[in-house]
A and B are shown apart, each in its own frame.
Chain A
Amino acid sequence: MSLSEHLPILAILSLLLTAFIVPVVAKWKNELAGPVSVAALTLSLVLTVALAGRVFSEGAFYYSLGNWSAPWGIEFYVDALGVFMMLMLTIVGLLILVYAVKDLAHELKKGVDGWYYTLYLLLLAGMMGMSVTNDLFNMFVLIEIVAISSVAIISVKDNRHCVEASFKYLVLSAVSSGAFLLGVALIYMVTGHLNIDAVAAGLETALALYPRNILVAMALIAVGLGLKAALFPLHVWLPDAHSSAVSPSSAILSGLVIKIYAIVFIRVFLKVFPWEIYNNIPVMDLLLWMSTFGIIVGSLFAIVQTDIKRMLAYSSVVQIGYVFLGVALLAQTAMVGAVLHIFFHALMKAMLFLSAGVIIYSTGIRRISDLKGLGLKMPVVMTMFGIGALAMVGIPGTNGFISKLYLALGALEAGRPFFLFVIMASSLLNAVYYFPIVGNAFFGKREEPLPEIKPIPMAMLIPVVIMGLAIVVTGIYAAPVVGLASKAVAGLLSL
């Protein structure tokens, strides 16, 4: 076996090992911790790109951990969907990390930033594992790694809001992990396997013998994943958790963490459970209505928010609704739209949270109404925020338009034109809460004097600008990304 055989595990291990080395580095020379983490993530990005090249040219392959073959050992199934996610995680994760290196110094207490990188890299490593693992119990372990590190990445900023929000998040995510594990246990009871392929084969025959077990397992796994992905009405923890965290944490939690559960959902519900279930029980219809309510109600909540980060957090509830809407329509085009939206929204929301972070860093303003007149003082950041707002609404020329277009076409392909109207109505609602911010910032008349504006460090501005440009570039020149996304979902809906 050559080194290139081991790319999937190397991409994850480079993050996992660095996560444990970083605190030691930080003890030795505190200012080195950031660059070391950035270097590790860059290495992981290079390995992931090599892996993606292989998967997109030669097709999916299995990788057995420690050379223990399938039914006994843990297996990775590296397919186009998993690689697409790994690419998204490493690219967006790297940009947020570069920003974090500069931003953390003023947001965290002295001496804890070394630990922050540990949590950040653990979180990314866990998510990378989740996107390729082919074993249900391994999935549970990775979910727990991601859950603990995403709670810790909020509570690391030691103030009363963060502590309370992260405790709520921890309890709810422990409940959902428990539900997921119980579901897996019930599946293991009837199939005797944990490997996803073997379970899928086993469930075909087990469905006739033990229908109740499988239904209960399905309900438990759906609730577990829905709670983690903040699917309405299980989103109650998200606004507090995402708005109180430090800006890089909010960006990674809103941009990446909640999406990865949508990917797990796609894998488990389209690959593991047999299709006959959906003919008898309208699981996907239920999901459609839940995501529709999430889109509408989440928008209404977002409109009334006064705090900019809270508004962005509610907007995430809306956007995860789009993703689940695309999955639940069960149409090829809608599925492409869902996967595209996962990637594009990761860019948009990470960018919006980071630019909100820049605004808070240099002016200390968090209230939306206080942003009046800032546009001319901070032109670059507010322009980027404006681009993000346009993309959220889905104006042509930004990538938000492309993914919404695919979702809308998917709604037509599935023969459910009603959901086309849901998407259009929510685009209007998005405009209601995003455009006033940008309009106020550039054209609002300000009575009281502006607060003192700290100069923005380059290391914080550059990631924001790169993401802003990426939003426009992928919006205009979308064909390659759409091609990758179509490859990623090919075969998911093959009946």
Chain B
Amino acid sequence: MIDTLANLFHNFYYLTAMILFVIGFHTLLTHNNLIKKVMGMNIMDVAIFLLLVSVGYVQGGRAPIFEAGAGSVHTYVNPLPSALILTGIVVAVSVTAFALALITKVYQHYGTLDAEEIMQIRSREL
């Protein structure tokens, strides 16, 4: 029990990331408002980014900028996850932008942003 708690405490970045992921997923699934769904999607994405960035962190490491001729060897953090996350953020931003654009279209066509109401309108049409 104590061991498990200690493990969780030492890895609290991962724990936070997982909690955030579940919060985001829950928001996405249970909320009817389309904007909130997009927010949930973003929280999920951020959770993954946090996880990946914290994987690359090295205790006491500094930014991986190599100074020529300094001669001293430092501990550096792993730059690869950060670089990946930059790509991931760009992707998440473009998906969000597209989703918001679609939401404005949905509002134009249905006059509501509530997923339940849209379902009712659609079932009446079919």
Name which of A147, A151, A155, A170 has the most chain B CB atoms within 10 A of its CB: A170
Q: Which residue of B lies closest to A144 (CB)?
A: B91
In the complex, what's the smallest C-beta–C-beta distance from B95 to chain A, in angstroms?
5
In the complex, what's the smallest C-beta–C-beta distance from B99 to chain A, in angstroms?
6
User: In the bound complex, do residue B55 and residue A171 qualify as a contact, i.e. CB atoms below 8 Å apart?
Assistant: no
0/1 string, A172-188, CB within 8 A of B gives 1: 00110110011001001
Q: Which residue of B lies closest to A72 (CB)?
A: B80
B-side interface mostly? helix
Q: A164-B118, A188-B52 are in contact. Are A171 and B84 (CB under 8 A)?
A: no
User: In the bound complex, do residue A155 and residue B105 qualify as a contact, i.e. CB atoms below 8 Å apart?
Assistant: yes
- A303 an interface residue at 8 Å Cβ cutoff? no
- A234 an interface residue at 8 Å Cβ cutoff? no
- A163 an interface residue at 8 Å Cβ cutoff? yes
Of B44, B106, B118, B122, the contact of A178 (CB 8 Å cutoff) = B44
User: In the bound complex, do residue B25 and residue A175 qualify as a contact, i.e. CB atoms below 8 Å apart?
Assistant: yes
Q: A170-B99, A185-B55 are in contact. Are A148 and B94 (CB under 8 A)?
A: yes
Instruction: Determine the chain B residues whose CB is within 8 A of the CB of A147 once the complex forms.
Output: 95
Q: Which residue of B lies closest to A188 (CB)?
A: B55
Q: How far is the CA of A174 from the CA of B29 in the complex (A)?
A: 12
Instruction: Determine the chain B residues whose CB is within 8 A of the CB of A194 once the complex forms.
Output: 84
- A13 an interface residue at 8 Å Cβ cutoff? no
0/1 string, A139-172, CB within 8 A of B gives 1: 0110010011001100100111101101100110
User: In the bound complex, do residue B106 and residue A167 qualify as a contact, i.e. CB atoms below 8 Å apart?
Assistant: yes
Name which of A163, A170, A174, A194 has the most chain B CB atoms within 10 A of its CB: A174
- B28 an interface residue at 8 Å Cβ cutoff? yes
- A76 an interface residue at 8 Å Cβ cutoff? no
User: In the bound complex, do residue B98 and residue A181 qualify as a contact, i.e. CB atoms below 8 Å apart?
Assistant: no
- A137 an interface residue at 8 Å Cβ cutoff? yes
Instruction: Determine the chain B residues whose CB is within 8 A of the CB of A152 once the complex forms.
Output: 98
Residues of B in contact with A, size category: 20 to 34
Q: How far is the CA of A141 from the CA of B41 in the complex (A)?
A: 17
Name which of B21, B81, B95, B109 has the most chain A CB atoms within 10 A of its CB: B95
Of B84, B88, B102, the contact of A166 (CB 8 Å cutoff) = B102
Of B38, B44, B81, B98, the contact of A148 (CB 8 Å cutoff) = B98
User: In the bound complex, do residue B98 and residue A151 qualify as a contact, i.e. CB atoms below 8 Å apart?
Assistant: yes
Interface residues of B in 96-115 (CB under 8 A from A): 98-99, 102-103, 105-106, 109-110
User: In the bound complex, do residue B99 and residue A167 qualify as a contact, i.e. CB atoms below 8 Å apart?
Assistant: yes
User: In the bound complex, do residue B51 and residue A182 qualify as a contact, i.e. CB atoms below 8 Å apart?
Assistant: yes
A-side interface mostly? helix
Interface residues of B in 1-59 (CB under 8 A from A): 21, 25, 28, 34, 37-38, 41, 44-45, 48, 51-52, 55
Q: How far is the CA of A140 from the CA of B37 in the complex (A)?
A: 22
User: In the bound complex, do residue A167 and residue B88 qualify as a contact, i.e. CB atoms below 8 Å apart?
Assistant: no
Of A164, A174, A189, the contact of B99 (CB 8 Å cutoff) = A174
Q: How far is the CA of A6 from the CA of B88 in the complex (A)?
A: 27
User: In the bound complex, do residue A170 and residue B105 qualify as a contact, i.e. CB atoms below 8 Å apart?
Assistant: no
Q: How far is the CA of A151 from the CA of B91 in the complex (A)?
A: 14
Q: How far is the CA of A152 from the CA of B97 in the complex (A)?
A: 12
Instruction: Determine the chain B residues whose CB is within 8 A of the CB of A174 once the complex forms.
Output: 41, 45, 95, 99
In the complex, what's the smallest C-beta–C-beta distance from B62 to chain A, in angstroms?
20
Q: How far is the CA of A451 from the CA of B122 in the complex (A)?
A: 27
Instruction: Determine the chain A residues whose CB is within 8 A of the CB of B44 once the complex forms.
Output: 175, 178
Q: How far is the CA of A151 from the CA of B103 in the complex (A)?
A: 13
User: In the bound complex, do residue A144 and residue B95 qualify as a contact, i.e. CB atoms below 8 Å apart?
Assistant: yes
Q: Which residue of B lies closest to A168 (CB)?
A: B115
In the complex, what's the smallest C-beta–C-beta distance from A15 to chain B, in angstroms?
19
Instruction: Determine the chain B residues whose CB is within 8 A of the CB of A164 once the complex forms.
Output: 106, 109-110, 118, 122
User: In the bound complex, do residue B55 and residue A189 qualify as a contact, i.e. CB atoms below 8 Å apart?
Assistant: yes
Q: A167-B106, A171-B28, A188-B81 are in contact. Are A182 and B21 (CB under 8 A)?
A: yes
7 pairs of A and B residues whose beta carbons are closest in the complex: A160-B109, A163-B105, A185-B52, A144-B91, A167-B102, A178-B44, A182-B48
Of the A-B pairs whose beta carbons lie under 8 Å apart in the complex, a sample of 26, sorted by A's number, is A140-B88, A144-B91, A144-B95, A147-B95, A148-B94, A152-B98, A155-B105, A161-B122, A163-B102, A164-B118, A164-B122, A167-B103, A170-B98, A170-B99, A171-B28, A174-B45, A174-B95, A174-B99, A178-B41, A181-B48, A181-B88, A182-B48, A185-B51, A185-B52, A188-B52, A188-B55
Besides the known contacts A141-B91, A170-B95, A170-B102, 11 further A-B residue pairs in the complex with CB atoms under 8 A apart: A140-B88, A155-B102, A155-B105, A163-B102, A164-B118, A167-B102, A171-B41, A174-B41, A175-B25, A178-B41, A181-B88
